[in-house]
Amino acid sequence: MEAIPLSQAKAGGYYKIVSVRKNGSGLLERLAAFGITKGDQLRLTQKYPAFVVKVGETVLALDLEYANAITVTSSN
Amino acid sequence: MADRKTKVFLVGNPNVGKSVIFNQLTGRYTTIANYPGTTITLAKGELELPSGRYEVIDTPGLSLLTSSSDEGEVTRKLLRENEGIVVQIADAKNLLRSLLLTLQLLEGGFRPILVINMCDEAQKIGMKIDAPLLQARLGIPVVTTVAVQGIGMDLLKKRIDTLGVPSLPLPPTRGGEKDSKSLAKSLLQGVVTERQAKDFLLEKMGTWCSHPVWGWFIVAAALELLYLFVGKLGAGMLVDFVENQIFGKTISPGAIWLLDHLLLFSKSQGIQLIHDAFVGPYGLITMGLSYGVAIVLPIVTTFFIAFSLMEDSGYLPRLAVMVDRLFRSIGLNGKAVLPMVLGLGCDTMATLTTRILETRKQRLITTLLLALAVPCSAQLGILLGMFGRMPFWTFGVWLLVIVSVLMLVGFASSRILSGEHQGFLMELPPLRRPKLSNVVKKTLARLEWYIKEAIPLFLLGTFLLFLLDAFHLLESLQKLASPLVVSLLGLPAEAANAFLIGFLRRDYGATGFFDMYHHGELSQVQALVALVVITLFVPCVANVFIVVKEHGLKVALRMVSFIFPFAFFVGGILHWIF
């Protein structure tokens, strides 16, 4: 499966982080602070009203802007 | 040598229980919360052990030593410039994340004591942690604890006691991110074993709280509970009790009696003045203290309890998820819901909490909105009481106006102020049953702040009012304000008095209108206009002071000079419409 932005992923699915676009808001660093880096598996639990992902035991909420900046591929 | 206390630095991610451990070690309270940025100042306390006295320092929650955030800066500076013992506190459920920090500390030449806290929660989800194995692999002391129950604290104290030579700080070397992560993973191999046992109900509830549909029902339910608890119990029963039973029957008459007997031996004006300053109509005791202690304190206490419950249960971040999109349009993101909700309790304290927002622009917008349109619990109590006795449409209009003002001013300021939109990223901690001890500690910490910071300012405000009255300036000010009040707002001239007092005492302003309406001096429309204006009116003395402290005098003046005319402007429009 090709890489897509997290914002286009299906809710309930399992994905692997391929890349995180570097933008001004320092998303990469903020994710790293939670111990989350490229290659990590996540589960997208919901997309509205905000995106919620689960990486290991950590549950994070993020908005559309950040979801656009994270590229994932399907992992099963 | 007797004076020199060895320093103990508590470092760790936010949300791991640093403040609880600080409290366990030193007996002092700090603001205990689950989101970054709430350990606002460095808390310091003392710990006495057989080997001597230690100064325990609680640092702001940070994730990585190398992070460029304020917290990272503060902690790096602290560790670099001071010799001491580093105690790193980690969350048992998130050991991998914490281990990254441990590795950074080790790279930096520190030898931390690693505390694995919240082991009870890890156990609940079926995790087992082999601490001795980790200790052997890392070469540093590892202690498992359940801080809120005091478990493991004695062992921690023993470890601090026997650590010996404090670590010498060295400049941290750069390590690749990828390498640290795999190193951490391999270190944890076999240390952490998981079973899949989970608390399904709480996890389900957590999902509902951020659900696009059910989430809103839960918000409504939370608001209703908040109203019942703070409005009925706090504003209703408690205030009644403290104000009437304690102050009305005992303290005020007691003070009056005392001062009457002490001072009225002389008919001199000076003595009379002193007497009135304390127990006169604008007296420090009869008005100032009774306001701060009898009216605001019970209400604010119930609010703090309710807020602490929402905080400790992990609900607040989910509330942030629900409102994030809404907040986008006013230049903020979901995180700002925290100070905004706290503002319903006390705007002054909420303004302090804006520090958790990442950009200055967000902090400014939130501060402005708090000062302008978020009524604090004391005010809200009286407002709701009044609306209870007026037809429902008046409440509807008031609500509509306030929310519109919020959105409009927020939108406008987000355009005017420079700065980019800050993306929303927030951790959702597991929904948990709030721990009574935590709730009590958080509430007490907030109350302590309130008593130390807000009450003196209420006393100051009352004293200013007293001076104004003593020098007969109150009446002249009323005359000056008349044209504004009468022609623009369509209110009787006496209303100016209520506004004047409302400047220094929010609730008295609203109460003044309540009296007037009660005595038929105000029509429904007039009462509505008055209440809208008093809600939007300049913030109370304590709030203004905090804004000056946080953003400087210029910003505070600019805000006040906008809010003041704007409130009257909106009132004028309402008057014109109705």
Q: In this predicted model, what pLDDT tens digit does every residue of A32-46 receive, in sequence order? A: 777 788 888 999 999
Closest chain B CA to residue A47: B212
Q: Which of B178, B177, B294 is nearest to B241 (CA)?
A: B294
Q: What is the pLDDT of residue B411?
A: 92
Q: What percentage of chain B exceeds 90 in pLDDT? A: 11
Backbone dihedral region for residue B190 (phi beyond 0: left; psi -120 to 50: alpha; all else: beta): left
The pLDDT score that the predictor gives to residue B372 is 92
| The predicted structure's pLDDT at residue B69 | 63
pLDDT (0 to 100) of residue B39: 44
Out of A16-20, B147-151, B459-463, pick the least confident.
B459-463
pLDDT for res B30:
57
pLDDT of residue B447 exceeding 50 = yes
Residue B405 clears pLDDT 90, i.e. is over it: yes
pLDDT at position B481:
78
Contact status, residue A38 vs residue A19, Cβ threshold 8 Å: yes
Taking CB atoms and an 8 Å cutoff, what residues of chain A touch B177? 32, 37
Residue B145 has a pLDDT of: 92
Helices B506-518 and B377-388: crossing angle in degrees, nearest 10, is 10
Whether the pLDDT of residue B115 is over 90: the answer is yes
Tell me what the mean pLDDT of segment B345-361 comes to: 85
Tokens of B356: 């958790």
Q: What is the pTM of this model?
A: 0.78
Q: How far is CA B148 from CA B125, B282, B417, in A?
A: 18, 45, 43
pLDDT computed for residue B371 by the predictor: 92
Name every chain B residue with its beta carbon within 8 A of the beta carbon of A63: 324-325, 328, 333-334, 423-425
Sort residue B176 into left (φ over 0), alpha (ψ -120 to 50) or beta. Answer: beta
| Percent of chain A scoring above 90 in pLDDT | 37
Compute the nearest-CA separation of B377 from chain A (Å). Answer: 29
Q: Which residues in A have their CB inside 8 Å of a CB on B?
A: 24-27, 29-35, 37, 45-46, 48-50, 52, 56-63, 65-66
| pLDDT tens for each residue of B505-555 | 677 777 778 777 777 888 888 888 888 988 898 787 778 888 988 888 999
pLDDT for res B37: 43
Which residue, among A44, A45, A66, has the nearest Cα to B333 in the 3D structure? A66
Average pLDDT over residues B168-178: 47
A60 vs B178, B212, B427: nearest CB? B427
Residue B18 has which token pair?
């640093």
Select from B189, B205, B115, B109 the least CA-distant residue to B152.
B115
Of A25, A27, A49, the CB nearest to B325: A49
Judged by CB atoms closer than 8 Å, whether chains meet at A65 and B423 is answered as yes
Residues from chain A that touch B325, judged by Cβ atoms under 8 A, are 49-50, 63
Long-range contacts of B128-133 (CB under 8 A, 24+ apart): B128/B192, B128/B193, B128/B194, B128/B195, B129/B92, B129/B95, B129/B191, B129/B192, B130/B190, B130/B191, B130/B192, B130/B193, B131/B191, B133/B190, B133/B191
Going B86 to B87 to B90 to B95, the CA torsion angle's sign is positive
Q: Give mean pLDDT, residues B33-62.
A: 71
| Model confidence band, residue B403 (pLDDT cutoffs 50, 70, 90) | very high
| B121, closest residue in chain A (CA to CA) | A57
Lowest mean pLDDT among B122-131, B262-271, B496-505: B262-271
Structure confidence at residue B2 (pLDDT): 44
Average pLDDT for B115-119: 92
- In the structure encoding, which two tokens stand for residue B105, read together? 């500390």
